[in-house]
Amino acid sequence: MRPVNAVIREVAEENPTVRTFRFVPSFDPVPGQYLMVWVRGTDEVPMSFSYQDGITVQSLGEATEALFCLGPGKSVGLRGPLGNGFDLVGDRILLVGGGVGAAPLALLGERAREDGLEVTSLMGFRCSSDLIFRSRFEKMGDLVITTDDGSEGVCGRASAGLERLDPGSYDQIYLCGPEPMMMDVILRCRGFESRIQASINRYIKCGMGICGSCCLDPEGIRVCVEGPVIRADRLLKSEFGRYRRGPGGLKEYYRR
Amino acid sequence: MATLSGAVGGLVLRNPVMLAAGILGTTGSSLRRAARAGAGCVVTKSVGASPREGHPGPVVVQVEGGLINAMGLPNPSYKNFQEEIDLARQGGVPVVASIFGDGPEEFAEVASGLDADCFELNLSCPHAERYGSEIGCEPSNVEDITRAVKKSVDVPVWVKLTPNVADIVSLGKAAQRGGANAVVAINTLKAMAIDVETGRPILGNRFGGLSGPAIKPVAIRCVFDLSAALEVPVIGVGGISSWEDAAEMILAGAQGVQVGTALAGGYGIFGEITAGLERYLVRKGLTLMELRGAARKTP
Ligand SMILES: Cc1cc2nc3c(=O)[nH]c(=O)nc-3n(C[C@H](O)[C@H](O)[C@H](O)COP(=O)(O)OP(=O)(O)OC[C@H]3O[C@@H](n4cnc5c(N)ncnc54)[C@H](O)[C@@H]3O)c2cc1C
Ligand SMILES: Cc1cc2nc3c(=O)[nH]c(=O)nc-3n(C[C@H](O)[C@H](O)[C@H](O)COP(=O)(O)O)c2cc1C
């Protein structure tokens, strides 16, 4: 598939560094699937669907900054929906997100509600002004918020909020956020890691399972097509939480 | 039972169907997975003297009959690559290190710095300045570089040729003069795709290389011509996505085949091709050796 020309219909500022871009046309993604977003003249980067027709982006570097310069009426090239997406399982689910990782979970939670599931959310942010999608999560069911500085909700990381819940009682837990945070949550949920699905971040380039840039050691899982959603029992047997690779394949270790 | 095992370019392989360079070849784990899925041997991503991040995206664009890529030779450099080769070797098949450089010295430096079962010299990547086909278009470069690497390692050396020349056979002859154990043909064809909405070239690098079914007839012709003209074996690559394609490549004269773009359909491709080839040989009552180059012998 060539990149589809998509016109930006609307831009919403979710917090000082996070914006949502809504496009025409709309897509039909499974929540957890992603798009390769071609910011013409800069780069093509992976972004999860946060709406059927939208992505929610944190400004980090070249491509995302270039995207932030585009307003309604401007266009990007899109390839997708790509990847596997989350698998909705059971009747009661828990969403655990950190920062912009809330984006795919918001779409997932809304889909789960449409299907009649009971949804609880635990969302961690650095501070109250970083909060995104509060009303979307509140509409779905119970919401626990944590902030690193205690300016809103429970003080601490998302894992601190886990103590307020009984994670083992949910049929399925869905995770998306910074890797150390996801690893922390998984380690606190030992014993039922096969009921956790995590959307993970690896350096995705081709998005079609051939270039090898996003492969996960030691199985060689092609995250761009077999992921980005991977069950935690598989992640525990992988490089996840220890290192990831940069654009040239060099390992970048997480500090423990 | 037909056997697919035999010598290919100085290696002994359980079957002649290999993973092509630059496809799922950046990590030892993905190479090992290809080996475990049935590849006869695996070729790594091309590695060079220093780390490269590759070109900005898009790095691939799907087009009619295949795709155009301009990865830009991303690699962690040979200095950080031995552990990947070592892990890949756990797959139980030979690991061929694809390498690139800007001339004989750099090629020899990279080759000497790696312990692999064979080297494949990338003299054919069409989208990286100073490397690949920029030097590999010139027979004298091909010969000098092949000779330099042959001198610095004691495992087989294969030379991967570019089809983006008027006469690929002259490149093959140069590789042979330099001492190559085999030539590999072909790398991607120079290509380009333009976004109609904006008039902008789609690839971050603007230009790239075409691979997939669209280039198979070109590859078949190159392999046919090369295998007629050379004494060293030819390994065929370009658009192979079924056992019929592999058989066609062998009929054209290939001793082995490599599969690239078809991996987009998953690792199962190795099992499909080898099983199909086996059935075909049985049905025809032929050995692999008899099949090789048979197209040339038809009246
Ligand atoms: C499946 C998937 C879904 C994602 N969804 C979202 C999302 O919904 N919202 C969001 O804000 N971010 C998301 N990301 C992360 C996003 O792709 C990166 O933040 C973005 O690529 C940064 O590009 P840049 O040029 O602005 O920054 P750079 O300066 O190039 O890089 C900043 C950071 O982003 C990483 N990065 C750069 N390019 C890529 C790439 N091609 N693949 C993976 N990581 C990369 C770099 O390693 C670095 O850590 C997702 C990543 C993946 C793999
Ligand atoms: C994404 C991609 C990356 C590639 N990287 C390399 C490389 O690093 N070195 C190399 O010699 N060839 C590279 N190639 C070329 C392939 O090895 C092969 O020669 C070509 O794609 C034709 O075979 P195919 O049609 O089966 O893909 C690459 C091809 C693709 C599609």
Q: In CATH, what number is assigned to the domain containing residue A187?
A: 3.40.50.80
pLDDT computed for residue A177 by the predictor: 97
Identify the domain boundary among A31, A61, A82: A82
List the domain range (segments joined by +) for residue B221.
Answer: 6-54+71-191+212-297
pLDDT computed for residue B297 by the predictor: 85
A211 alpha carbon, closest ligand = 2
Residue A158 has pLDDT above 90, yes or no: no
Closest Cα in chain B to A217: B29
Continuous H helices in B123-237 = 133-136, 139-152, 168-178, 216-229
CATH of the domain at B242: 3.20.20.70
Residue A228 has pLDDT above 60, yes or no: yes
Q: How high is the mean pLDDT in each 10-residue block of chain B (299 residues)?
A: 88 98 98 98 97 97 97 97 98 98 96 98 85 85 97 98 95 97 97 96 97 98 98 98 98 98 97 97 95 90
Question: Domain for residue B197, yes or no?
Answer: no
Ligand 1: residues within 6 Å at CB?
A 34, 43, 45-48, 55-58, 60-64, 100, 103, 201-205, 228
Active site residues of B: 125
- Cα dihedral A179, A185, A186, A191, rounded to 10, equals 180
Whether B155 is in the pocket of ligand 2, judged by its Cβ within 6 Å, is no
CA atoms within 13 A on the CB side of B178: 29
The letter for the amino acid at B115 is D
Q: DSSP class of residue A71?
A: -
Looking at the CA of residue A47, tell me the nearest atom of ligand 1. Answer: 5
Residue A256 has pLDDT above 70, yes or no: no
B24 alpha carbon, closest ligand = 2
- Shared domain for A94 and A183, answered yes or no, is yes
d(CA A135, CA A118): 17
pLDDT computed for residue B125 by the predictor: 81
pLDDT computed for residue B52 by the predictor: 96
Per the CB < 8 A criterion, the answer to whether A99 and A124 are in contact is: yes
Residues contacting A132, CB < 8 A, separation 6+? A14, A15, A18, A56, A100, A102, A103, A125
- Shared domain for A216 and A134, answered yes or no, is no
- Shared domain for A216 and A127, answered yes or no, is no
Going from the Cα of A213 to the center of ligand 1, the distance in angstroms, rounded, reads 13
- Shared domain for A72 and A119, answered yes or no, is no
d(CA B118, CA B110): 13
Among A47, A58, A202, the mutation site with the greatest number of ligand 1 atoms within 8 A of its Cβ is A47
- Region A119-146 average pLDDT: 96
pTM of the predicted model over 0.90? yes
- The closest alpha carbon to B229, from B186, B187, B176, B178, belongs to B176
Per the CB < 8 A criterion, the answer to whether A203 and A246 are in contact is: yes
Q: What are the b/e assignments for A165-188, b being 16+ CB within 10 Å? A: bebeebebbbbbbbbebbbbbbee
List the domain range (segments joined by +) for residue A45.
Answer: 4-82
- Region A120-131 average pLDDT: 96
> Interface pTM (ipTM) of the complex?
0.94
Question: Domain for residue B207, yes or no?
Answer: no
Identify the domain boundary among A199, A220, A244: A199
Q: DSSP class of residue A195?
A: G
pLDDT computed for residue B1 by the predictor: 55
- Shared domain for A164 and A189, answered yes or no, is yes
**Residue A138 phi, psi dihedral angles, 5° rounding:** -60, -35
- Domains in chain B, number: 1
- Region A92-112 average pLDDT: 97
- Shared domain for A93 and A73, answered yes or no, is no
- Shared domain for A101 and A184, answered yes or no, is yes
Question: Domain for residue B143, yes or no?
Answer: yes
| % of chain A residues with pLDDT over 90 | 96
Closest-CA distance, B117 to chain A, in angstroms, reads: 21
Per the CB < 8 A criterion, the answer to whether A67 and A61 are in contact is: no
Residue A41 has pLDDT above 90, yes or no: yes
- Domains in chain A, number: 3
Q: What are the b/e assignments for A198-222, b being 16+ CB within 10 Å? A: bbbbbbbbbbbbbbbbbbbbbbbbb
Which DSSP string do the residues of B2-61 spell out, in sequence order?
----EEETTEEESSSEEEPTTSS-SSHHHHHHHHHTT-SEEEPPPB-SS-B--PPSP-EE
The secondary structure of B131-147, three-state, reads CCHHHHCCHHHHHHHHH
Distance of alpha carbon B192 from the chain centroid: 21
Continuous H helices in chain A = 62-68, 102-114, 134-140, 158-162, 179-188, 223-226, 232-236
pLDDT computed for residue B130 by the predictor: 81
Residue A212 has pLDDT above 70, yes or no: yes
